[in-house]
Amino acid sequence: MKTFSVSHKTVIVVDHCPYMAESSRQQIECDMLTKSRAQGVIPLAPVSKSLWTCAVECSMEYLRILYDIYPARKLDMSAHRDILACTVLQVNYIVSDSEFHILNSWRQEDQSVQELMSALAAVGPPNPREDPECCSILHGLVAAVESLCKITEYQHESRTTLMDMAERVANRGRIICLTNAKSDTHVRMLEDCVLETIQEQNKLAAGSDRLMPIQQCELVLVHIYPQGDDTLVSDRPKKEISSVLNSEVHSVRAGRHLASKLNVLVQQHFDLASTTITNIPMKEEQHANTSANYDVELLHHRDAHIEFIKSGMHSIFVFDQCIPDCVCTGDLHMAGSTSRDSGLKETVTLKWCTPRTNSVELHYCTGAFRISPVDVNSRPSSCLTNFLLNGRSVLLEQPRKSGSKVISHMLSCHGGEIFLHTLNSTRSTLEDPPSISEGCGGRVTDYRITDFGEFMRENRLTPFPDMPVDAAGRAPFERAKAQLERHTRYWPMIISQTTIFNMQAVVPLANLIVKDSMTEDDLLTCQKTVYNLVDMERKNDPLPISTVGSRGKGPKRDEQYRIMWNELETLVKTHVGTSERHQQVLECISACRSKPPEEEERKKRGRKREDKEDKTEKNGKESEEKGWAPDSERLKGAIEREKEEQSESEVIKDSPDSPEPFNKKPRLATEELLSLEKSKGPVSLLSLWTSRITQANSRKHQEFAGRINSVNNKAELYQHLKDENGMDVHENGKATR
């Protein structure tokens, strides 16, 4: 596939000389209604189009189909292949009389039937009184060649993009000339003139930046003559005039014949094919409760039939039953080709298929091709197109003589454009794949599916056609990626990995903190969220902490809050660099999060203890008198546990049910424990374990110097103060409690 094929540039040259004002002699009765109502009214004479009118309306029809199927597209370096079949095709329209009139340019905005209609109206019909000697189609043909040399926006863009490979951008084109020639000799004269002009222009173009030499040109001469006349020009198939120029001649009667000729040409020139949708149920205006079946013929890129074309060849090969009629359609009768208009046209018949499909189904679709109805204004056509334009889709099935029904196509509308989709109807090579639940991560059952769904909704895309880049120079899709990055900085995938995302109370903060910029209000909301959490903690509200994986009831309440706060801090910390306000959220959390007065202290102690533990471990083997070689892993776990339990024991220390400590080692017999000892009660497993661990740990750290030197388990603190101002020892001791 080439982007810059002959079809990239088309110049239509229409003869505007006086003889084109001649009547086509095809009469049209306009005065239709008189038959039913009039008595004594003489019907008006029928009208007939001039050769000019025929040429113009048929060329407009050619363009209508072309622009429907290959609409003007915004400038970009996209070379689309066959699945959407949209190459960039451009048309230049020229009329020729005593001089040439170029009605549009290669520019994208000029590529529309409306623009051309307006320009044609300004030109008007040929003036029969103009001097025929000054008028010639040659002016137009010369202008056409010159126009082909002019570089299009696409060619320019491609050349600029390719830089030193600019020579890869080709310049080919086609000239369609609608004229009334005098004779075959006249036709040859026109061809020679075009060839000469190409050679001249190519020389000129070689030295210019805005011009390109023509590598290949296809000249399509259409000789139009009035009905009833004999043609003076003979048809001639494509022939090579020179290496740059091919030429073909079509001699056609004006009117209907010209229309169908140009319809055939537009199909040939732009690789189109025809599909007839059959069995379309349509309500009759008169009888609303009955419906008749109609057929509508559509044109589209021929790749929509690729499967038929190939299976046609296939049948010839496989079954070796080559019946001449079957060559194009294959033996499957799916293509149901019917030849009409004296064998010029072929169409594939597909059947309207009910029930319709719904829009939330994702079909495996191998191509989508814009369509154009052949008879755009007919009632069946407009019924079908309106039905589709309203957003509904229709599946199409291959008419088969027997066997199962095969749905091979779908008609569907996207944004005011109707597409013929090709659906895959053969066996899939991906059948019977292993289910996702059998693979990695397939056994995990508590994914945050709903949360990620919510995440996806927040990260849906929307077009920003008018905002190519933002202040930071990022295109919209880069901003979308940046947002995904921000939203996933801390995103636990499973429910049991997270606390905060299972809490409704955290939602406002979690939604705001991922934003690129926060307003003052956002900050306030975040702070409120934090205060709310503090409040919850004060009220001792339960937290949705997962108990998966941990034995028993899981961590205790204040430990839960500690986990929650930690997680919240982790989340906010990942965004702290985004802005000042993000930073403030973190500060708010740090300031508010629960740290019971003892906790800080305990943490420090814990840390020291761990340090010591490390040291002890190193000497562990030497210190045999301790007799208990610790399994370091288990010990770490135990320490963690001990920390938790220690806090637990602090919480319940005033309770009357507080257990008696199990072990009363003198070294550990603090006043606290002594006081507990007084309250009698059953010894719980917890206290047994606690004291055991405390005992184990106590062996592994150096005793506090004060305690070693203590008298009666009481150490004197701030002894130096006493020396200075003679404070009471006993009082100091109390103060420490």
Partner 1 sequence: MPTVVLMDASLSMTRPVSLEGSEEFQRKNLAVHGLTMLFEHMATNYRLEFTALVVFSSLWELMVPFTRDYNTLQEALNNLEDYDKTCLESALQGVSNIVQQEWGSTCPCQVVLVTDGALGIGRGSLRHSLATMKQRGEDKKFPLPFPFPSKLYIMCISNAEELQATDAMDNLEQLLTLSGGEGHIFTMDGPLCLKSVQAMFGKLIDQAYTPFHAVLRCGNLASDVQVFPRPEPVLLDDEVDPVPKAVLTELEIVGFIEIGDIASPPVLSRHLVLPIAVNKEADEVGAGTTDDMEEDTSTNQMAGKSPNFCVLLHGSLKVEGMVALVQLGPDWYGMLYSQADSKKKSNLMMSLFEPGPEPLPWLGKISQLGPISDALENPYGEDDSKSPFPVQPKNKRSYAQNVTVWIKASGLQTDVQKILRNARKLPEKTQTFYKELNRLRKAALAFGFWELLKCVAELLERECTLLPDSAHPDAAFQLSHAAQQLKLASTGDSQYAAFEHNITPMLTDFSGGGGGADRM
Contact set for partner 1, span 255-294 (CB under 8 A): 256, 259
What is the CB neighbour count within 10 angstroms for residue 389?
13
Contacts of partner 1 in 222-261 (CB under 8 A): 256, 259
Pick from 234, 268, 364, 610 the residue near partner 1 by CB under 8 A.
364
Pick from 226, 373, 380, 659 the residue near partner 1 by CB under 8 A.
373
Question: What Cα–Cα distance (Å) separates residue 231 from each residue in 228, 435, 666?
Answer: 9, 70, 129
Residue among 57 and 716 whose Cβ is closer to partner 1: 57
Residue 406 as a binder of partner 1 (CB under 8 A): the answer is: no
Residue 368 as a binder of partner 1 (CB under 8 A): the answer is: yes
For 184, the 3-state DSSP assignment is helix
Residue 679 to residue 505: CA distance in whole angstroms: 41
Q: Transcribe 21-55 into DSSP letters.
A: GSEEEEEE----THHHH-SSPPPPPPEEEEHHHHH
Q: Transcribe 580-598 into DSSP letters.
A: HHHHHHHHHHHHHS---HH
For 294, the 3-state DSSP assignment is strand
Residue 382 as a binder of partner 1 (CB under 8 A): the answer is: yes
Residue among 360 and 711 whose Cβ is closer to partner 1: 360
4: nearest Cα among 143, 151, 194: 151
Residue among 12 and 195 whose Cβ is closer to partner 1: 12
Residue 363 as a binder of partner 1 (CB under 8 A): the answer is: yes
Pairing of strands 365-370, 417-423: antiparallel
- What's the first-to-final CA gap in the chain, in angstroms? 90
Residue 415 CB, shortest distance to partner 1, in Å, is 3
Residue 427 as a binder of partner 1 (CB under 8 A): the answer is: yes
Q: CB–CB of 155/171 below 8 Å?
A: yes
Pick from 129, 210, 401, 457 the residue near partner 1 by CB under 8 A.
457
Contacts of partner 1 in 680-699 (CB under 8 A): none
Q: CB–CB of 242/249 below 8 Å?
A: no
Residue 678 to residue 675: CA distance in whole angstroms: 5
Residue 430 CB, shortest distance to partner 1, in Å, is 6
Pairing of strands 245-253, 236-240: antiparallel
Number of residues near partner 1 (by CB under 8 A): 160
Residue 717 as a binder of partner 1 (CB under 8 A): the answer is: no
Residue 128 as a binder of partner 1 (CB under 8 A): the answer is: no
CA angle 164, 169, 171 (to 5 degrees): 140
Residue 332 as a binder of partner 1 (CB under 8 A): the answer is: no
Pick from 206, 292, 444, 548 the residue near partner 1 by CB under 8 A.
444
Residue 578 CB, shortest distance to partner 1, in Å, is 14
Q: By CB under 8 A, which span of 185-193, 344-352, 421-429, 715-723 interacts with partner 1?
A: 421-429
Pick from 158, 171, 398, 691 the residue near partner 1 by CB under 8 A.
158
Q: By CB under 8 A, which span of 26-34, 188-196, 343-351, 717-725 interacts with partner 1?
A: 26-34
Residue among 127 and 732 whose Cβ is closer to partner 1: 127
Residue 347 as a binder of partner 1 (CB under 8 A): the answer is: no
User: Exposed, middle or buried: residue 368 (CB in 10 Å: 0-12, 13-18, 19+)?
Assistant: buried
Residue 83 as a binder of partner 1 (CB under 8 A): the answer is: yes
Residue 145 CB, shortest distance to partner 1, in Å, is 22
Q: Classify each residue of 288-319 as buried b or exposed e, where b means 16 or more C-beta atoms within 10 Å of its C-beta.
A: eeeeeebebbbbbbbbbbebbbebbeebbeee
Residue 166 to residue 361: CA distance in whole angstroms: 44
298: nearest Cα among 319, 281, 273: 273
Q: What character string, x for contact with partner 1 (CB under 8 A) and - otherwise, covers 506-545?
A: ---------x------------------------------
For 297, the 3-state DSSP assignment is strand
220: nearest Cα among 118, 154, 136, 144: 144
Q: By CB under 8 A, which span of 44-52, 180-188, 227-235, 725-733 interacts with partner 1?
A: 44-52
Residue 84 as a binder of partner 1 (CB under 8 A): the answer is: yes
Pick from 210, 237, 243, 362 the residue near partner 1 by CB under 8 A.
362
- Sequence length of the chain is 737
Contacts of partner 1 in 553-582 (CB under 8 A): none
Q: By CB under 8 A, which span of 138-146, 198-206, 408-416, 689-697 interacts with partner 1?
A: 408-416
Residue 699 CB, shortest distance to partner 1, in Å, is 37
Residue 557 to residue 566: CA distance in whole angstroms: 14
| Largest pairwise CA distance in the chain | 142
Residue 455 as a binder of partner 1 (CB under 8 A): the answer is: yes
CA angle 469, 473, 476 (to 5 degrees): 40
Q: DSSP code of 494?
A: B
Residue 33 to residue 43: CA distance in whole angstroms: 9
Structure tokens at 383: 């019924």
Residue 397 CB, shortest distance to partner 1, in Å, is 16
Contacts of partner 1 in 94-123 (CB under 8 A): 112-113, 116-118, 120-123
Q: By CB under 8 A, which span of 140-148, 188-196, 419-427, 608-616 interacts with partner 1?
A: 419-427
Residue 323 as a binder of partner 1 (CB under 8 A): the answer is: no
Name the residue with tokens 């203590």: 710
Question: What Cα–Cα distance (Å) separates residue 730 from each residue in 494, 496, 711?
Answer: 57, 52, 12
Q: H/E element holding 503?
A: none
Residue 156 as a binder of partner 1 (CB under 8 A): the answer is: no
Residue 106 CB, shortest distance to partner 1, in Å, is 17
Residue 476 as a binder of partner 1 (CB under 8 A): the answer is: yes
Residue among 395 and 638 whose Cβ is closer to partner 1: 395
Pick from 246, 349, 372, 697 the residue near partner 1 by CB under 8 A.
372
Pick from 171, 274, 349, 385 the residue near partner 1 by CB under 8 A.
385
Name the residue with tokens 């109707």: 418
Residue 61 as a binder of partner 1 (CB under 8 A): the answer is: yes
Contacts of partner 1 in 300-319 (CB under 8 A): 306-307, 310-311, 313-314, 316-318
User: Exposed, middle or buried: residue 489 (CB in 10 Å: 0-12, 13-18, 19+)?
Assistant: middle
Residue 76 as a binder of partner 1 (CB under 8 A): the answer is: yes
